[in-house]
Amino acid sequence: MAADDRADKTLLIQNELGLHARAATKFVQLASKFPCEINVLKGTNEVNGKSILSLLTLMAPKGTTISIKARGERSEEAVAALAALVDDKFGEGK
Amino acid sequence: MTEIRHEVRRQGLGVSAGIAFGRAYLIGRDTLKAPRHHIEPDDVDTETARLYKAIASSDKQLAKIKEKLASENESDYHIITAHQMMLHDEHLVGAAVGYIRDELINAEWGLRRAVDDIAGLFDRMEDVYLRERRSDVEFVFERVLRSLLGRETGPVQPPPDAIVVAYDLSPADTAQLHKAAIAGLITDAGGKTSHTAIIARAHEIPAVVGLETITEIVETDDLLLIDGGSGMVIVNPTAATVAEFRDEQRRQVAAGAALHSMRDLPANTLDGTEIALYCNIDGHDEIDTALAYGAMGVGLYRTEYLFMGQAEPPNEERHYQTALEVLKRLAGRPATIRTFDLGADKLAPFLEAAELEEANPALGLRSIRLCLSQLGRPLFRVQLRGLLRASAHGPLKIMFPMISGVAELRATKVFVDEVKLELRQEGIAFDEDVKLGIMIEMPSAALSADFLAEECDFFSIGTNDLIQYTMAVDRVNEYVSYLYEPLHPALMRLIGDIARSAAVTKIPVTVCGEMAGEPMIAPVLIGLGIRELSMSAVSVAEVKAMIRATTLGEAEALVQRLKKLPTAAEVRAMVAEYVFGLTAQQRKGRV
């Protein structure tokens, strides 16, 4: 396997509304641009990061710690991009 | 022939205020049922293809609705994007296809089962906002189901002034509705944060949600009366009910209009005495509202909230920036900022950490005493530096709370002079003539008002505390709160004395307690010599209306008569009689 075939990162949800519909929409839109498999974990719960319904049912309000796990082509790039989105509070400013 | 239908009342959740009267326009939902039947293994591919085709067509419809929206309403735009993503979500579509193939059932049934699985997850959520997202999945389901059944609906087009009745409204529905001139919205489902509620409030359309079965009761063209404030919905109201509500509607509209028309008028008595009306606020975000209600400036800015609930006390920059923001929003109008009035029931973390263990904190280390103490001094210095710096940028006045007498006033002024000296030495600009005033809120200050008036620039009478300390009564204590009486003769004497003392040295005196916002008491305060009142924004228009209906001469004559009365009850009765007389005259004057 190439070096960038897998990547993981743990993040804190910081925006006021948490991983709500609009934030999840942005997350899925971005995740879908990458060929790799992307999963999001909260505790022992692991869901598909390209599925908006899965992300919504994960229930991650402000202050939740989540992990992003990517497997396959361009994994590192995908995780870096998604982490930037989360850290930017999904562009919501608060 | 129309059958006679009886008036029916239903109580829901009012989510957008206002009264609306109109014909019902039903957006049918429950007529659609997902047919269920088993299929042959050979038909799996056909059913799956049907499902994908319906999804593609639903996607196209949503794209079209979105196109019309452009970016005009961002929140709708994004939620419809989310719905489009749900349409292609593996979690939903994959599961539906799985049911079709494994259970050999038709596309409609497969999709319904997949939706039920997801809806179940949402239902178990604790977060109200997320729980309501269940409805998003249902909207997506319904759209696909309509495509599957070839029952697509065109755009929702209610006639103007209709009241739209629905089980629930999808973002796609509301996106189209808010362009139509509808009179109101009522739904079976929904809560305070449902799309219907949000859109209705944004567009000021009266709305009631959570009516549970209203779609079963109402038929298209039924007459409806709805009150988006109370949540009342009346189906086929009688003529008497309509008349009653029309009056209420007129009253609401008139009150709003009167308030608005009053905004730019001065608060002058009929014989031309100018009364200045200011606002009491806790944060600069309240200023715009205050000005909209017609306030001339800020009479009391309470700075306690900069401290309360904050881990760290505010630094100098925070005080400076906060005061600057106040001045900026007031655009040249005056602002009176009160230094922190902490202690007793208003605690900040630094105070809790000090563990003062006072037996009687209401009479303890608080307000100006705290500011001048070892514990509070450093914070007081930081606040004064911030406020003084801001004074270079606009008409800012600084006010000190709970001054007991001249000794305390002098100690405070010595401290202010020290801080001013520091700033001068550091070459930092401030207004050398910044006005320093005091709250008069305890009897000792009221009774030495003549001395105090010689040594400060203005007074503000804090009537809430002044009444409490004069009557020795805690106004939130149910056993004795009946003694809390703004119109007690003793209190009127104190206010009259304070006003006279201020007049001798020609310093302004404001009343800033709740008493100032009571329209009925305004003539009494004016008669006692008060020319400035500071109150919460919502009271400004009503107080102004009262002032504009009275004359200074009448108000002074009223006070002369009140002075002869020994009890608060008698005072109140005479004031009520006077005010009633005024409004009667006003009515006659109009006819």
Which CATH number covers residue B105? 1.10.274.10
- Phi, psi for residue B219 in degrees, rounded to 5: -120, 155
Nearest residue of chain A to residue B76 (CA atoms): A22
Contact yes or no for A57 and B89 at CB 8 A? no
- Residue B455: per-residue pLDDT: 97
Is residue B153 domain-resident?
no
- Please report which confidence band the pLDDT of residue B77 belongs to, taking 50, 70 and 90 as the band edges: confident
Choose the final residue of a domain: B148, B175, B194.
Answer: B148
Q: Label residue A76 exposed, middle or buried (CB < 10 Å: 0-12, 13-18, 19+).
A: middle
User: Beta B276-281 vs B532-535: how paired, if at all?
Assistant: parallel
Contacts of B549 by beta carbon, 8 Å cutoff, 6+ apart: B270, B582, B583, B585, B586
Mean pLDDT of A66-88: 93
- Residues of B within 8 A of A61 (CB-CB) are 127
Report whether A79 contacts B144 (CB < 8 A): no
Q: Which of A55, A6, A1, A93 is nearest to B86 (CA)?
A: A55
- Is the ipTM, as predicted for this complex, more than 0.90? no
Distance from CA of B376 to the nearest CA of A (A): 33
Contact yes or no for B130 and A24 at CB 8 A? no
- Please report which confidence band the pLDDT of residue B2 belongs to, taking 50, 70 and 90 as the band edges: very low
**Amino acid, single-letter form, for residue B13:** L
To test the contact with chain B by mutation, choose from A52, A59, A64, A92 the residue with the greatest count of B C-beta atoms within 10 A, namely A52
- Residue B178: per-residue pLDDT: 61
User: Beta B298-302 vs A37-42: how paired, if at all?
Assistant: unpaired
Q: What angle is formed at CA A57 by the lines to CA A51 and CA A62, rounded to 5 degrees? A: 105
Q: How many CB pairs under 8 A join A and B?
A: 50
Asked if residue B293 has pLDDT above 50, the reply is yes
Asked if residue B590 has pLDDT above 50, the reply is no
Mean pLDDT of B90-96: 90
Nearest beta carbon to residue A56 from set B75, B90, B133 = B133
Q: What is the per-residue pLDDT across B348-363, written as a single tens digit (0 to 9) for each? A: 778 878 888 888 888 8
Report whether B207 contacts B19 (CB < 8 A): no
Does residue B411 share a domain with residue B341?
Answer: yes
Instruction: Spell out a b/e string for B371-395, using b for 16 or more CB atoms within 10 Å of the CB, else e.
Output: bbeebbeebbbbbbbbbbbbbeebb
Is residue B410 domain-resident?
yes
| Structure tokens that stand for B488 in this block | 């007690």
Torsion angle, alpha carbons of B539, B544, B549, B550, to 10? 100
More confident residue, B371 or A92: B371
Lowest model confidence (mean pLDDT) among A24-33, B161-170, B316-325: B161-170
Mean pLDDT of B432-446: 97
Distance between CA B161 and CA B158 in Å, rounded?
Answer: 8
Query: What is the extent of the structural domain holding B500?
Result: 263-590
Contact yes or no for A50 and B122 at CB 8 A? no
Q: What is the mean pLDDT of chain A?
A: 87
- Residues of A within 8 A of B127 (CB-CB) are 18, 59, 61
In chain B, what percentage of residues exceed pLDDT 70?
90
Distance between CA A63 and CA B420 in Å, rounded?
Answer: 44
Asked if residue B283 has pLDDT above 80, the reply is yes
Asked if residue B549 has pLDDT above 50, the reply is yes
Contact yes or no for A50 and B90 at CB 8 A? yes
Does residue B121 share a domain with residue B98?
Answer: yes
Mean pLDDT of B505-519: 92
Q: What is the per-residue pLDDT across B572-583, written as a single tens digit (0 to 9) for each? A: 889 988 887 776
Distance between CA B580 and CA B586 in Å, rounded?
Answer: 10
Contact yes or no for B85 and A17 at CB 8 A? no
| Structure tokens that stand for B310 in this block | 């904050």
Q: Label residue B284 exposed, middle or buried (CB < 10 Å: 0-12, 13-18, 19+).
A: buried
Distance between CA B591 and CA B563 in Å, rounded?
Answer: 35
Q: What is the per-residue pLDDT across B104-142, written as a single tens digit (0 to 9) for each? A: 999 999 999 999 888 888 887 777 767 777 788 888 888
User: Which residues of A fall below an 8 Å CB-CB distance to B?
Assistant: 17-18, 20-22, 24-25, 28-29, 48, 50-54, 56-57, 59, 61
Is residue B35 domain-resident?
no
- Residues of B within 8 A of A50 (CB-CB) are 90
- Residue A19: per-residue pLDDT: 84
Q: Which of B260, B262, B301, B257 is nearest to B278 (CA)?
A: B301
Distance from CA of A58 to the nearest CA of B (A): 9
- Residue B440: per-residue pLDDT: 98
Contact yes or no for B92 and A57 at CB 8 A? no
- For B36, which DSSP code? -
Contact yes or no for B127 and A59 at CB 8 A? yes
Contact yes or no for B89 and A22 at CB 8 A? no
Report chain B's C-alpha Rg in angstroms. 32
Report whether B533 contacts B522 (CB < 8 A): yes
Is residue B1 domain-resident?
no
Is residue B466 domain-resident?
yes
Helices B107-123 and B134-148 meet at what angle, rounded to 10? 170
Mean pLDDT of B171-186: 75
Nearest beta carbon to residue A48 from set B91, B127, B137 = B91
- Please report which confidence band the pLDDT of residue B155 belongs to, taking 50, 70 and 90 as the band edges: low
Distance between CA B58 and CA B153 in Å, rounded?
Answer: 11
A46-60, B14-28, B259-273, B326-340: which has the highest mean pLDDT? B326-340
In chain B, what percentage of residues exceed pLDDT 90?
48
Is residue B154 domain-resident?
no
- Residue B513: per-residue pLDDT: 84
- Residue B173: per-residue pLDDT: 75
Mean pLDDT of B422-450: 97
- Residues of A within 8 A of B79 (CB-CB) are 21-22
Choose the final residue of a domain: B148, B178, B207.
Answer: B148
Q: How many domains does chain B have?
A: 3
**Amino acid, single-letter form, for residue B209:** V
- Residue B555: per-residue pLDDT: 96
Beta carbons within 10 angstroms of residue B43's beta carbon: 14
Asked if residue B1 has pLDDT above 80, the reply is no
- For B159, which DSSP code? P
Output the domain CATH number for residue B184. 3.50.30.10
- Residue B33: per-residue pLDDT: 74
| Structure tokens that stand for A64 in this block | 């939740």
Distance from CA of B156 to the nearest CA of A (A): 25
User: Which residues of B fall below an 8 Å CB-CB distance to A?
Assistant: 75, 78-79, 81-82, 85-86, 89-92, 118, 121-122, 125, 127, 129-130, 133, 136-137
Nearest residue of chain A to residue B120 (CA atoms): A57
Nearest beta carbon to residue A21 from set B89, B92, B133 = B133
Mean pLDDT of B76-83: 81
Q: Which of A55, A43, A53, A44 is nearest to A82 (CA)?
A: A55
Contacts of B118 by beta carbon, 8 Å cutoff, 6+ apart: A53, A57, B91, B92, B137
Contact yes or no for B89 and A53 at CB 8 A? yes
Does residue B240 share a domain with residue B93?
Answer: no
Does residue B139 share a domain with residue B47?
Answer: yes
CATH classification (class only), A3-91? alpha beta
SS3 of B334-387: CEEEECCCCECCECCHHHHHHCCCCCCHHHCCCHHHHHHCCCCHHHHHHHHHHH
Output the domain CATH number for residue B464. 3.20.20.60
Is residue B63 domain-resident?
yes
Contact yes or no for A53 and B81 at CB 8 A? no
Contact yes or no for A57 and B79 at CB 8 A? no
Does residue B243 share a domain with residue B279?
Answer: no
Report whether B336 contacts B399 (CB < 8 A): yes
- Please report which confidence band the pLDDT of residue B273 belongs to, taking 50, 70 and 90 as the band edges: very high
Choose the final residue of a domain: B148, B183, B206.
Answer: B148
A64-78, B234-248, B495-509: which has the highest mean pLDDT? B495-509
Sole residue written with tokens 């409490």? B468
Lowest model confidence (mean pLDDT) among B155-164, B169-178, B331-340: B169-178
Lowest model confidence (mean pLDDT) among B14-28, B167-181, B308-322, B417-431: B167-181
Does residue B351 share a domain with residue B333?
Answer: yes
Q: Where are the alpha helices (DSSP H) in B41-104?
A: 44-69, 74-87, 95-103
More confident residue, A66 or B519: A66
- Residue B157: per-residue pLDDT: 75
Nearest beta carbon to residue B129 from set A20, A29, A54 = A20
- Residue B249: per-residue pLDDT: 72
Asked if residue B319 has pLDDT above 90, the reply is yes
Can you point out the beta strands (E) in B168-283?
184-187, 207-209, 223-227, 232-235, 276-281
Q: What is the mean pLDDT of chain B?
A: 87
Q: Is A20 considered catalytic here?
A: yes
Report whether B575 contacts B520 (CB < 8 A): yes
| Sequence spans of domains, chain A | 3-91
- Residue B551: per-residue pLDDT: 94
Mean pLDDT of B39-53: 92
Nearest residue of chain A to residue B131 (CA atoms): A57
Can you point out the beta strands (E) in B145-304?
163-166, 184-187, 207-209, 223-227, 232-235, 276-281, 298-302
- Residues of B within 8 A of A21 (CB-CB) are 78-79, 82, 133, 136
